[in-house]
Amino acid sequence: MKETAYINTPLGVAKLEGDETGISEITVLDSDEEVTLVIPEVLEDAVYQLREYFEGTRQEFNLALNPEGTDFQKRVWNAIAEIPFGTTVSYLELSRKLGDPKAIRAVASANGRNPIWIVVPCHRVIGSDGSLTGYAGGLQRKQWLLEHESPYKQASLF
């Protein structure tokens, strides 16, 4: 049976779903949900690791994942999960890595359907020209995540 929890993040409330086979969904919401006070046991580690990520003490996740998707989507998500913290790749680079540079639109579509926010870091996939192309969580969140992971922190002028 899938369990659900809602947690606060710097980017809004996140919904987590999973069961004993793994995490099936982590999404950021544009609506306010009541934060879960007692986290289900199967989601405790995911909540802990996400908190560490946002605190800046975690760069890699170690979670069992069980997203729902096609075989192709899962191949894309597995490739995305290998993108190192603090780096980006283009959709074209990702499609080349998967063995078909002509599949760029299919790769972009699969990236957009990624159900496991941050842990499968689709925010690290950008346009070939370096632009922040579409992001299901909103471009402002993508920008925040990339800045959060950047080894070059922007100093405030004021």
Give the pLDDT confidence of 68-108 residue by residue, as tens digits: 999 999 999 999 999 999 999 999 999 999 999 899 999 99
- Domain chopping of the chain, boundaries: 3-55, 71-149
Q: Do the domains 71-149 and 3-55 match in fold?
A: no
pTM: 0.89
Furthest-apart CA atoms within the chain: distance in Å: 51
52, 58 contact by CB (below 8 A): yes
Give the pLDDT score at 155: 57
Q: In CATH, what is the architecture of 3-55?
A: 2-Layer Sandwich (3.30)
Of the candidates 133, 86, 98, 131, the one whose C-alpha atom is nearest the C-alpha of residue 112 is 133
What's the mean per-residue pLDDT of the chain? 92
Catalytic (active-site) positions: 122
The domain over range 71-149 is classified in CATH as 1.10.10.10: yes
